[in-house]
Structure 1
Amino acid sequence: MRRPTICVTLSGCSVEEMLADAARATAVGADLCEVRLDKLWVVEKPPEPVKVEDPPKDGRRRRPVYNPPEFTPQSFDSVDLAAALDAFKGGIDLPVVLTCRPERQGGYFSGTEEQRIGVLRTAIESGVSWVDLEIDIKAATRKELMSLAEGKTQVIASTHSANEPPNASEIISDIEGMEASGEIIKVCYNTSGRNSGLKLFEAAWNLKDSQLKTSIMGMGAGGDWTRIHGPLLHQDLVYSTMESGSHLSSQGRINASDLLIAWEMLQYD
C-alpha cells in the first residue's frame, strides 16, 4: 500500500520558530514542510494560564482545557519577505510548500489581495518546490501565477470552507471541477463530528481509484479520519503538525509521529 506524502505545517510566527519546527519535522520522517507565510504577518499572544480546579468528586479525570492563542496582525512592511525566503531556502532540508492564506479562507494575512498576490508571485520566483494557490483567486491572476510556476514549481489547488461538508457526490463534483487547477487538489471543510467525517471519508473512498491526486480533510472533530486512513483512501498528500496535545483531534489535526504510528498499527505501511 503506497504511503501518502506527509506534509508538516510548520508552527510559529517567525522565521526562527519555523526553522526549528522544520528540523523536528525532518527528524520524524516528514516528506514536505508547509511554510505559512501569512503567519509572518502576525504576532502570537500566548493564552492566559488555565486555573487549576480541584479534582471532581466522582473521580473521573477531566480533559485539560485548551485555550487557543491570539494573533495580532502586523503591518505589511514589517516583514522582509526576501530575507525570509532566503532563510527558508537555506535552512530547510525538505521540499517546501509556500502558502499565504487569506483571512477569507481561515488564514492570517490581513493585507490587501494585491499584496498577497505579490507575496505568492515572489514565492514562485524564489524557485520553491510547491506553492498553494487558492481556487478563488481571480481567474486572470491565477492563470498568470500558474504560468509563472509552470516547469519549476508544482501547484496545490486549494479551497477551505467554513461550512460543513456537503454530501460526498457534491464534494467529488467540486474536486473534479478543480482538476486542471493544480498538480494536487486540496479541499478542507469545517467538521463537527461523525457525520462530517463520514462525508469526507466517503468522498475520498469513491475517488481512491481515480487519476486525481487529492488531499481531503476537515478542521474540527472528525476531520482527521481521512488523514489517519490516508493510505487506504489513496490520498496523495496528508497534512500533519509537530504540535502535540489532546486538542489536536478536536481540531481535525494530528501529530506527525502519531500519524506514522497509526499507519504502522493499522498495517498501512
Structure 2
Amino acid sequence: MTRGKICVSIAAQDAKSVSAQVRAIADCVDVVEVRLDAMAEPEVAKCCSLLQKPLLFTNRPLWEGGEFAGFEDDRIAPLFTAIELQAAYVDFELRADPLLRKQLLQAMESAPTRMIVSWHDFKSTPADSDLEDILQQMLKSGAHIGKIVTTAAEKTDLLRLIKLQEKALAKEFSLSCFAMGEVGRISRLATLYMGGYMSYGAVNASQATAPGQLSVRQLHALCEQFEKVESED
C-alpha cells in the first residue's frame, strides 16, 4: 500500500537542539521540517551537517502563522542557502511575492531541491470555489508540491478537502491537504492514504507547531495499525 511521507516539524532555537529532538524519533519520520523562524539565527548549514534525514526548510512569517517579523529579502536568504546546500525541500508561501518565488525556483534549476508552495487558514475551511482557486494558483506557480491546510469546524469540511485532494491527483500535482483543529486530526492520517504527498507531526504533544497536530509517533503507530488491518483483509 502506498502512503505519503511523514514529516516532523521542529521549532527549536538552534541546530543542535533540532538534531537532539530528531534522534528521539528518527525511526518514525521520512522528512524533517526545520522551522527557521523559531531560531535565534538561521543555522541552515549546521542543520545540513548534523541531520541525515531529508530536510525541509521553512521560514514562516507572522502573516502566515509563523514567527519571522523582518524584511522579505532577509526571510528568504536562508532558503537560498538551503538550495545551495542541496536540501530536499524549501517551503514558500503562496501569498508571498511571486517575484521572490521565481528567484527561488530559478536557483533550484541547478539543484535537487523542490519547492513546497503553502497556504494556511487558521480560522476556517474556505468555500469550494475558493479552495479550487488556491489549487489553480499553485498549479500555475511553478512549484513542485503544494500544501493546503485549513481549520475544520465540522466533518463536511474534511470531505471537501478530500475532493480537493482528488482534483490535485487528477491533474498529477503533488499536494499535502489536511485540516487543523480537533475535527481535523483524522485528516492528518487519512491524507497519507488518499494521495496526499506528506503529513506533518510534532516531536511530542507539547511541541506541536499547529493546532490539532499529532506526534509523529502517534501518526506512525496509526499508519502501522491501518496497514496491518488492510493486509489482513
For normalisation by structure 2, the TM-score amounts to: 0.86
Alignment TM-score, normalising by the size of structure 1: 0.75
More helix by share: 2
Q: 2:147 aligns with which of 178, 186, 198?
A: 186
Distance 1:138 1:206, change over 3 A: closer
- 2:46 aligned counterpart, secondary structure: helix
Conserved? CA contact 1:134–1:157, under 8 Å = yes
> Gaps (5+ residues) in structure 1?
42-78
Aligned to 1:234: 195
Q: Conserved in 1, the CA contact under 8 Å of 2:135 and 2:168?
A: no
Cα pair distance change 1:142/1:208, threshold 3 Å: closer
- Corresponding residue number in structure 2 for 1:62: none
Residue 147 of structure 1, CA deviation: 0.2
Q: 1:188: how far off?
A: 1.4
Q: 1:11 to 1:101 in 2, by over 3 A?
A: closer
Counterpart residue type for residue 148 of structure 1 = A
Look up the match of 1:10: 10
- Computing the radius of gyration over CA atoms, which structure comes out larger, 1 or 2? 1
Change (3 A) 1:260 1:26: same
Assess if the C-alpha contact under 8 Å between 1:200 and 1:217 holds in 2.
yes
Q: Percent identity over the alignment?
A: 25
Q: Do 1:208 and 1:234's aligned partners in 2 also have CA atoms closer than 8 Å?
A: yes
Runs of 4+ in 1 over 6 A off after TM superposition: none
Counterpart of 1:61 in structure 2 is none
Amino acid paired to 1:186: K
> What is the deviation of 1:8?
0.8
1:129 to 77, 88, 101: 88
CA distance in 1, matches of 2:107, 2:167: 33
- The whole-number CA distance in structure 2 between the counterparts of 1:112 and 1:95 is 28
Task: Return the letter of the residue paired with 2:161.
Answer: L
Alignment match, 1:64: none
In structure 2, the residue matched to 1:105 is 64
Mapped to 2, the partners of 1:123 and 1:235 lie a distance apart of: 24
Aligned residues: 226
Contact 2:56 2:88 in 1 (8 A): yes
What whole-Å deviation, never above 9, does each CA across 1:84-136 have from its counterpart, x for those lacking one? 22221111110100110000000011112221122322332232111111112
Partner residue, 1:44: none
Cα RMSD after superposing both structures: 2.3
TM-fit CA distance, 1:195: 4.1
Instruction: Give, in whole Å, the separation in 1 of the partners of 2:76 and 2:48.
Output: 20
Counterpart selection for 2:165 from 192, 204, 224: 204
Unaligned runs of 5+ in 2: none
CA contact (8 A) 2:11 2:39 kept: no
Partner in structure 1 of residue 23 of structure 2: 23
